[in-house]
Amino acid sequence: MAATVFYLDDLPAAGQVAVLDGPEGRHAATVRRFAAGDRLLLADTRGGVAECSVLAAGKDRLELMVDARASSPAPSPQVTVVQALPKSERAELAVDLATEAGADRIVPWQATRCVSKWRSGSTDKSAKSLAKWRSTAREAAKQSRRAHVPEVDELHTTPMLVQRVHEASAAGALVLILHESAVGTLPRTEVAAAQELLLIVGPEGGVDDAEIVALTAAGARAVRLGPEVLRTSAAAAVALGAIGVLTSRWDAGPLELGS
């Protein structure tokens, strides 16, 4: 049966008692109203999973018996999404959709044409914005019952991204820039054979020509997903869906009790 998933950083061994408190415990006990005898899954956000039975429910906490432990393997190939900073009202949407679609890592990128700026002159909003992206990724992963929560890296400038692309390409990763004006489409055979993918999503105004030149020189390839021009907040999720079909990433089933 499909299970509700809550996150706990340190999972006890089978036969031991786990305490779920804090915001997760409050949500489980007060909002979801779990009671003694109910069953749920705990995940440590890194692939560890514990099947649990509720022993007791308090106002803001649950005491749980760990009935069984398991490990959920990370999907393969691993997919990193480089997301140019969307406008503020769509930033969390981009992270939410990419996480629900299965992104393994998210890299915020302050591209040339980004309207949103985390760093500009003496203003630095990167710490607050990064915390918001990480919180969004965690909540979206829980909503979609993922055992792995995607890492959200520090803000990247274009020179940092060019260096990352160079290193990823040299290590054998397939690096794709999603660009509506690209001639080629998603390379199905290469995607299917890839061990790692790096998807670069530009801002609302598109990837600057100079950035395209620098990124392709470093080993990236510009591709388009289809005839429609997608919003920056939706592009990664659509690409991840296509990758799920072309690879084995969608072969695993959802987290379940009694599996």
**Check whether domain 5-71 has CATH 2.40.240.20, yes or no:** yes
Mean pLDDT of 76-81: 97
The pLDDT value given to residue 205? 87
- Domain parsing of the chain, residue ranges: 5-71, 78-246
Q: 212 pLDDT band (50/70/90 cuts)?
A: very high
pLDDT single digits (tens) 142-164:
999 999 999 999 999 999 999 99
Q: 88 pLDDT band (50/70/90 cuts)?
A: confident
Residue 117 clears pLDDT 80, i.e. is over it: yes
The pLDDT value given to residue 185? 93
The pLDDT value given to residue 254? 80
pLDDT single digits (tens) 17-75:
999 999 999 999 999 999 999 999 999 999 999 999 999 999 899 999 999 999 999 99
The pLDDT value given to residue 230? 92
Class of domain 78-246: alpha beta
The pLDDT value given to residue 255? 82
Residue 1 clears pLDDT 80, i.e. is over it: no
| Tokens representing residue 220 in the block | 């990236």
Residue that has been written with the tokens 């760990």 in this structure: 66
Rounded Cα gap, residues 105 and 19, in angstroms: 29
Q: Name the packing angle between helices 232-246 and 88-100 (round to 10°).
A: 10
pLDDT single digits (tens) 176-204:
999 988 989 999 999 999 999 999 999 99
Give percent of the chain above pLDDT 90. Answer: 88
Q: Do domains 5-71 and 78-246 have the same CATH topology?
A: no
pTM of the model: 0.93
Q: 259 pLDDT band (50/70/90 cuts)?
A: low
